[in-house]
């Protein structure tokens, strides 16, 4: 089974053949701290479900209810629904919506506005790598974003090791991600720009950042690297530079010995941009 989490939506895909609630519990509890009303489970990509796997939903509903929150299952394929009905008393206690939008509405959440229209156009995406350079990337993004009504997307790339399931409990890392986003959200608002923040759990941060920028038709991607960036971070920047279809700005912070020197900025993609120093 593959699990992807974006805000309050948990998307399942692949095969769910055994009760996975214990695997999901810690991560779901972290999400409920930031979305206390509840979570939405999107089953649109779920291809195989066994009665034992369906017990995941039963245990999740029971545990989440104890937190005075709700779980709403949505986008359930007919064959998956048939298996859910095989578990005694499950469907009668499990709210099910036809679409994710309906599930979010049931939780009292606003539906995401259409992308690429009105104020959503002209977005700048900031890839946050969890280093001291992240605030500099945000500063550069705010300078690039000349339309105060267009969003600055703060995308925290939470890398999950390949030897762990994508939804493995990473409570400490997720809490750090949320603290970083809260701090940088305030920095964007201080510049009178509109922040949109999200945590992306991923194996491949460069690929996920490119996917996000494509989904919202971003006009630019901004990254910042510390002075002695490890090779893994440099590879992320190089991949984004090589593959992006929009402008890319990579800001490397100067070393302490070269603090007075100019900060090199690379630009690539849809069109070259001049350098910016945070």
β-sheet bridge partners, residue 270? none
Q: Name the E strands within the chain.
A: 2-6, 9-16, 38-49, 70-74, 96-97, 124-128, 151-159, 194-202, 220-225, 247-252, 265-268
Give the whole-angstrom CA distance, residue 175 versus residue 240. 26
Contact predicate 207/157, CB 8 Å:
no
Predicted confidence band of residue 187 (pLDDT cuts 50, 70, 90): very high
Contact predicate 125/145, CB 8 Å:
no
Distances (CA, A) of 2 to 15, 45, 156, 185, 221: 8, 9, 20, 29, 27
278: its two tokens: 């945070």
CATH number of 118-268: 3.40.50.620
Reported as a single tens digit per residue, the pLDDT across 69-110 is 888 899 999 999 999 988 887 876 788 888 888 887 777 654
What does the domain layout of the chain look like in residue ranges?
2-106, 118-268
Contact predicate 223/241, CB 8 Å:
no
pLDDT of residue 92: 65
User: The domain 2-106 is classified under which CATH number: 3.40.50.720, 3.40.50.300, 1.20.120.450, 3.30.750.24?
Assistant: 3.30.750.24
pLDDT of residue 278: 42
pTM of full prediction above 0.85:
no
Reported as a single tens digit per residue, the pLDDT across 114-173 is 333 333 458 899 999 999 999 999 999 999 988 877 889 999 999 988 877 765 667 788
pLDDT of residue 210: 93
pLDDT of residue 180: 94
Contact predicate 35/71, CB 8 Å:
no
The order of strands in the sheet holding 9-16 is 2-6, 9-16, 38-49, 70-74, 96-97
Reported as a single tens digit per residue, the pLDDT across 204-263 is 999 999 998 988 889 999 999 998 889 999 999 999 999 998 999 998 888 766 544 444
DSSP state of 120: G
The order of strands in the sheet holding 265-268 is 194-202, 151-159, 124-128, 220-225, 247-252, 265-268
Give the whole-angstrom CA distance, residue 257 versus residue 159. 31
Q: What is the dihedral sign for C-alpha 110, 188, 209, 34?
A: negative
């Amino acid at each position: 089974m593959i699990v992807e989490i974006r805000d309050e939506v948990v998307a399942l895909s692949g095969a769910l053949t055994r009760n996975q609630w214990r695997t999901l519990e810690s991560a779901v509890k972290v999400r409920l701290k930031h979305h206390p009303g509840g979570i939405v489970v999107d089953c649109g990509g779920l291809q195989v479900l066994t009665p034992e796997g369906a017990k995941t939903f039963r245990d999740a509903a029971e545990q989440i209810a104890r937190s005075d929150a709700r779980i709403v299952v949505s986008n359930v394929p007919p064959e998956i629904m048939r298996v859910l009905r095989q578990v005694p008393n499950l469907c009668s206690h499990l709210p099910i919506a036809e679409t994710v939008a309906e599930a979010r509405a049931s939780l009292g959440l606003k539906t995401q506005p259409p992308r690429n229209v009105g104020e959503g156009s002209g977005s700048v995406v900031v890839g946050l790598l969890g280093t001291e350079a992240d605030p500099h990337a945000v500063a550069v993004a705010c300078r690039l974003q000349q339309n105060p009504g267009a969003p600055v997307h703060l995308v925290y790339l939470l890398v999950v090791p390949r030897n762990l399931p994508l939804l493995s409990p990473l409570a400490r890392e997720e809490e750090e991600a949320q603290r970083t986003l809260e701090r940088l959200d305030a920095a964007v608002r201080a510049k009178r720009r509109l922040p949109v923040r999200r945590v992306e759990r991923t194996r491949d941060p460069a690929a996920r950042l490119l996917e996000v920028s494509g989904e919202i038709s971003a006009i630019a991607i901004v990254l910042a690297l510390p002075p002695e960036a490890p090779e893994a971070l440099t590879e992320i920047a190089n991949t984004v530079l090589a593959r992006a279809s929009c402008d890319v700005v990579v800001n490397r912070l100067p070393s302490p010995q070269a603090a007075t020197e100019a900060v090199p900025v690379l630009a690539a993609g849809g069109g070259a941009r001049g350098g910016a120093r945070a």
